[in-house]
Homo-oligomer: A and B are copies of this chain.
Amino acid sequence: MAGVSTGTVDRVLHNRGEVSESSKKKVQQVLKEIHYRPNMFAIGLAGKKKYLICCLIPKYTPDDYWSFVAQGIEQAAEELNAFHVRTEYIYYNHSSIESYCEAGAILLTKKPDAVLIAPNFKKETLQITGQLSERKIPFIFIDVNIEDAGAMMYIGQDSFQSGYIAGKILMNKYARDKEIVLFISEYNQNSFEIQMQRRLEGFMKYVSESCDHITIHEVKLGNKNDQEDKQILTAFFKEHPCVKMGISFNSRIYEVGQYLEENQIQFLRLIGYDLLPQNIELLNKGIITLLIGQRPGLQGYCAIKVLADKIVFKRDISPMKYMPIDLIIKENILYYVESYNL
């Protein structure tokens, strides 16, 4: 239609130069006129190009938070393998900087076409992403954002706001109880701690806005030794028997819940994050009042789809996708567990 050959058309379609301005113009003109849409079947059949997406995420055990993320990734991977997209995981250990750096090094040797990163240590992350940028390999952050790293997109929750909401709900019914307890974890340098920090800040914002003269206790629970944690809890409740409302800013609220159950301590409100099986069980029993969900499966799913959109279909994408802050109670939990395989 433009009076040129298929080769020329192909060149303008893919911007691979070697085309005179005049031909280019003519072709583009025709493309517009006929509303040209590439035929995906033909592309898939003809293209021998294989795509590799690498996922840098924490090593996980069955049913923990990252296992849900992986499920989402798997589903997207399945939908995309028809398009010659392959995914590969590189796992690192939460709490080890060395492991993280090592994973980063392995990542580069894989020569991926795109990368999903659950960033952990800020400085080290910037080092990794710097090298990705040099190689022009697009990458997405999920769960925690690190700004100014040049990520194509961040997918995750607004941590501050989710803490704010947690505060509102915790304080909703029993504003006159003057004692609450925050179950927080040992301070660590990694990004997931930073996320909890932001949730805490959001929480404190609400409390400072809306609750006068409140007493806030803090209980630090390590994540190493269960027995030790129990002793800490026992000591706390001996000293503060009137505390009936508590919150944790991570998914390990079940440790507290289990302790309360064992020791028959009745709380009025107990709030935590994420739909781990242990948490769900305690929610169903009425020991946990509310869980805040952040759709780990959807995060993984979206991340892979977006990366594929970028590298396979050349679609452009927005830089931010906030996940809904799901409020989950006993009565609606069922439908959230199912929808994890969305």
Interface of A toward B, CB cutoff 8 Å: 37-45, 81-84, 157-158, 161-162, 164-165, 168, 172-173, 298, 313, 321-327, 329, 331-332, 334-336, 338-339, 342
Contact = CB atoms under 8 A, between A and B. Distances in A.
Contacts of A162: 332
A238 to B, nearest CB: 31
Contacts of A321: 338
Contacts of A158: 335
How many identical subunits does the complex contain? 2
A341 to B, nearest CB: 10
A162 B335 CA distance: 11
Given A37-B82, A81-B37, A82-B40, A326 B329 contact: no
A30 B132 CA distance: 41
B327 A332 contact: yes
A161 B330 CA distance: 11
A313 B168 CA distance: 46
Nearest to A293: B324
A321 B40 CA distance: 29
B322 A338 contact: yes
A158 B335 CA distance: 9
A43 B83 CA distance: 11
16 contacts: A38-B82, A40-B41, A40-B82, A40-B83, A41-B42, A44-B44, A158-B335, A161-B335, A165-B331, A168-B331, A321-B338, A322-B334, A322-B339, A324-B326, A325-B331, A327-B327
